[in-house]
Structure 1
């Protein structure tokens, strides 16, 4: 039985890396991508290959369609078709909307939302042709409820949620499932800016009494990418009961 192939964007660290490791442990060929951290990306590639799978690492901006096309051309040459797409690449912005520059707005839209469009646009034709495929978008609880001082980030994640629901309806007749994981507070570098008292206050708000782990996100994403062809168009909260 031929190995399946997964693409995980933003996979040099944190949630993306954990997802890539999970699929590698399960025997998938893994394609990983990031924009800035080449050394970390290559370290991740080496780690993934220790599980006796093939790994393609690509430095590039998935918010740029031409760079995205280059990656998908490489995927086709090395692996043929893509079975699972995990749109994880993302950045945050914390600050008042009135203080946000147009350039910062454009950057977060491009990184968090346009990248999802680009990767889906290029992955979907192959999935539709073989009548099989899974797309999992990494979202946030702020895409559901919104967060003060994170208006742009919330907007991108809300956009991903609507995108997920709509594309799922479009692709369901072709047996391609599209779902999103709306993460709560996950223990990654993105949240390391918090002071100790801020972190304690945050944890006190979470009924589960702790931050989530990247590996817990990875477990859920793997199951969404592996089975259940009737589950589609869902925004699945993973937040310890927080929101």
Structure 2
């Protein structure tokens, strides 16, 4: 489905990003694993991807830094030849009630989650435009659709990604570049690994269970593949019905 494609995945050393990288590799894409600090984890993802018969390389980058993102995209283009797919998955949380939230916590989350996506899109867009094709998948959240108490910064960043997705989709559609967003709900990662089946948050999910990272990864692969060439500007929830 993705054979021969060159994919860039930010925040790919763990969780959903890792699952997306390995799913893309399974479908035949060469993957650039972008990580913030955990080189060991990123290299492990590369090894697992390479075992599937594709090329995989790790690149350390603070996506919130405009120039650093530019240099990283240039390195990836030099080593992979081009970029066909960009997945903006890198994200952080600095939760807290709005009455007590520090300005630095608000800024840090917006800088990584939203500006980081802008930076990567900005520097990959010339490649996409030259190729006259490309796929962008932005990782939003149901928090960006519904809001979430204690996450004003995170929810704002994820809502901003939805607006960014729709604007980029309109701007680049004529160049055959599709830009879509995925809005996961509660997904089984390190943060939710200890949740029991009777956890109160699970009670709010109509399907009555936590989703798996593979659920998100499969959708990302679909949106990155040529089969979805007429889908752009969409926000697709993977939440078990939580945001109905």
Match of 1:145 in 2: 146
Match of 2:236 in 1: 236
Match of 1:186 in 2: 187
Query: Secondary structure of the residue that 2:181 maps to in structure 1?
Result: strand
How many residues align? The count is 241
Name the TM-score, length of structure 2 as normaliser. 0.95
Unaligned 5+ residue runs, structure 1? none
Give distance in 1, aligned partners of 2:138 and 2:78.
Answer: 25
Instruction: Trace 1:1-243 onto structure 2 (pairs within 5 A).
Output: 3-192=4-193, 196=196, 200-226=199-225, 227-243=227-243
Structure 1 residues 2 and 190: CA distance shift in structure 2, 3 A: closer
Give distance in 2, aligned partners of 1:60 and 1:72.
Answer: 10
CA RMSD of aligned residues (A): 1.6
Query: Secondary structure of the residue that 1:98 maps to in structure 2?
Result: coil
Asked if 1 retains the 8 angstrom alpha-carbon contact of 2:205 and 2:241, the reply is yes
Give distance in 1, aligned partners of 2:228 and 2:19.
Answer: 22
Structure 1 position 3, deviation (Å)? 1.6
More helix by share: 1
Structure 1 position 73, deviation (Å)? 1.4
Query: Secondary structure of the residue that 2:206 maps to in structure 1?
Result: coil
Cα-to-partner distance string for 1:200-234 (whole Å, 9 max, x where unaligned): 21111111111010011000000000022211001
Query: Secondary structure of the residue that 1:86 maps to in structure 2?
Result: strand
Structure 1 position 242, deviation (Å)? 0.8
Unaligned 5+ residue runs, structure 2? none
Name the TM-score, length of structure 1 as normaliser. 0.95
Moved over 3 A (4+): 194-197
Cα-to-partner distance string for 1:118-155 (whole Å, 9 max, x where unaligned): 00001111111111100000110010111111110000
